[in-house]
Amino acid sequence: MRHLLSLPQLASRAFSTTARQMRNKVPERQKVFLEDNGLPVHIKGGTTDVLLYRLTMTITLAGTALSFYWLLRASMPRGKAH
Amino acid sequence: MAHQAHAYHMVDPSPWPLTGAIGALLMTSGLAIWFHFHSTTLMTLGLILLLLTMYQWWRDIIREGTFQGHHTPPVQKGLRYGMILFITSEVFFFLGFFWAFYHSSLAPTPELGGCWPPTGITPLDPFEVPLLNTAVLLASGVTVTWAHHSLMEGERKQAIQSLALTILLGLYFTALQAMEYYEAPFTIADGVYGSTFFVATGFHGLHVIIGSSFLAVCFLRQIQYHFTSEHHFGFEAAAWYWHFVDVVWLFLYVSIYWWGS
C-alpha cells in the first residue's frame, strides 16, 4: 500500500533533476560507518572497498617489481635504446 | 567500545600514503624510462595508482568527517592550517616562474634584440581573449562567494546553482585558454619568451583544472546533503583554492600579457 501511495512521488522523481529530488542518505551512511565492527575506514564501506583496495595494492606491488626490473635494465651498459 | 577522552582525530591505519608514494615513484621513474626506452607502461601504471590513491584517500576523509563525526572544531582548525600552508607553498611555486619572467624581461639580452617582447615575437593582444578570461575568472570569484553565502544561509537550491555556475565559468576559461594556445603565433620553443609564457600560464591552467575538479566534488557533495550551514570546510577549502587560482591569473595578466606586450 505504501508503494502505491508513493507513486506520484516516484513519477515526479523520475522526471526531475537529480539535484532537486535527491533523498538525504547521510544518516544511513553514518550508520554504516559508525558500526562497531573494528574495520578501518578504508574498507568499512563493503565489498567494493575491499576489491578497490586489492586492485590498488596489486598495482603497487607489481609496479614496484616492474620499477626494479627497469632499474636493472637501465643499469646495464648494453641493449639500451638509442 | 572504547571512547576517546579528547577531541582530536586518531586516524585508522591506512595504506594510501604508501600507495601514493609508490605511485609517485612509478611516475617519475616511468618518465625516465619513457625518455630512454620508449616504453610508457611504468609511467601509466604510476598515473593510475596515483588516481586510485587520491580517490580512496579523499573518499576516506569524507567518511571520517561527514559520516564518523571526527572533524571536531580543533580538528577542523588543523585542516584549515593545512590548507593555508599548502596554498602558501603553491604561491612560492608560482613566485619562481614570475621571477624567471621578470629576470628575462626586465633586462632583455642582445640575443633577443635588447627588447621585450623579443624581436620576431608577436604577443597576444591583452584586450582580446585574455581580457575575457580575466572577466570570466573574476565572475567565478563572485559566484563562488554567492555559493558560500547560500550554504551558510541554508539555501540549498541557490548553493547548487551558484556552485554549478562557478564550475561552468572555470570550464569556459579552460576552453578559451586551450583555443588561445592552439591559435598563438608563438610556441614554447620560441626562446625565453615562449618558455616563460607557456610554463607560467600552463601551470596556471593546470591549477584551474584542479580547482574546477575540487569544486565539482563539492557540487556532488552538496547535492548529497553532506554540507550543513555551520560545517562545510571542504567547500571553504575549494573556495580558498579557487580564489588563489584567480589571483595568480590577475598577476599573470598584468605581468605577462599586459606589461609584457
Q: pLDDT digit string (tens) for A62-79?
A: 999 999 999 999 999 976
Tell me, yes or no, if A19 comes closer than 8 A to chain B by beta carbon: yes
A71 touches chain B (CB under 8 A): yes
Query: Which among B46, B56, B69 has the least Cβ separation from residue A56?
Result: B56
Inter-chain CB proximity B67 and A34 less than 8 Å:
yes
Q: Calculate the CA dihedral of residues A39, A40, A43, A45 and round it to 10 degrees.
A: 70
Q: What is the mean pLDDT of residues A7-12?
A: 52
Judging contacts by C-beta atoms under 8 Å, the chain A residues touching residue B157 are 19-20
CA A22 to mean position of chain CA atoms: 21
Q: Any alpha helices (H) in chain B, and if so which ranges?
A: 16-37, 41-62, 73-106, 129-152, 156-183, 191-223, 233-252
| Per-residue model confidence (pLDDT) at position A12 | 46
Taking residues B167-185, what's their average pLDDT?
98
pLDDT of res. A14: 45
Q: For B208-236, what is each residue's pLDDT tens digit? A: 999 999 999 999 999 999 999 999 999 99
Q: What angle do CA B35, B18, B238 make, to 5 degrees?
A: 85
Per-residue pLDDT, averaged over B189-218, amounts to 98
User: Is the pLDDT at A80 greater than 90, yes or no?
Assistant: no
Alpha carbon distance B256, B261 (integer Å): 7
The pLDDT tens digits of the residues spanning B118-174 come to 999 999 999 999 999 999 999 999 999 999 999 999 999 999 999 999 999 999 999
CA angle, B218 then B219 then B221, to 5°: 60
- Rounded CA gap, A49 and A52, in Å? 5
CB of B159 closer than 8 Å to CB of B147: yes
CB contact at 8 A, B164 and B120: no
Any A CB within 8 A of B16 CB: yes
Least confident of A11-15, B55-59, B190-194, B228-232: A11-15
Question: What are the extents of the domains in chain B?
Answer: 1-70, 72-258
Q: Which fold has domain B1-70?
A: Helix Hairpins (1.10.287)
Report residue B188: phi and psi, to 5°: -65, -25
Report the C-alpha gap between B14 and B9 in whole angstroms.
14
Answer whether A19 sits within 8 Å of B67, measured CB to CB. Answer: no
For residue A34, list chain B residues with Cβ-Cβ distance below 8 A: 67-69
Distance CA B135, CA B151 (A): 24
Specify the CATH number for B72-258; select among 3.40.50.300, 1.20.210.10, 3.40.50.410, 1.20.120.80.
1.20.120.80
Domains B1-70 and B72-258 belong to one CATH topology: no
Question: Residue B157 and residue A20: Cβ atoms within 8 Å?
Answer: yes
pLDDT at A19: 60
* pLDDT value for A16: 44
Looking at the predicted structure, is the pLDDT value of residue B82 above 50?
yes
Q: Do B66 and A29 touch (CB under 8 A)?
A: yes
Mean of all residue pLDDT scores within chain A? 83
Residue B82, classified by CB atoms within 10 Å of its CB into exposed (0-12), middle (13-18) or buried (19+), is: exposed
Tell me what ipTM this predicted complex has: 0.88
pLDDT digits (tens, 9 = 90+) for B85-124: 999 999 999 999 999 999 999 999 999 999 999 999 999 9
CA distance B210 to A12: 35
Are B160 and A41 a contacting pair at CB < 8 A? Answer: no
User: With 0-12 CB in 10 A as exposed, 13-18 as middle and 19+ as buried, what is B216?
Assistant: middle
Tell me whether A74 touches chain B (CB under 8 Å).
yes
Least-confidence region, from A22-26, A63-67, B78-82, B236-240: A22-26
Which residues, 6+ apart, have CB-to-CB distance to B189 below 8 Å? none
Contact B15 A80 (CB under 8 A): no
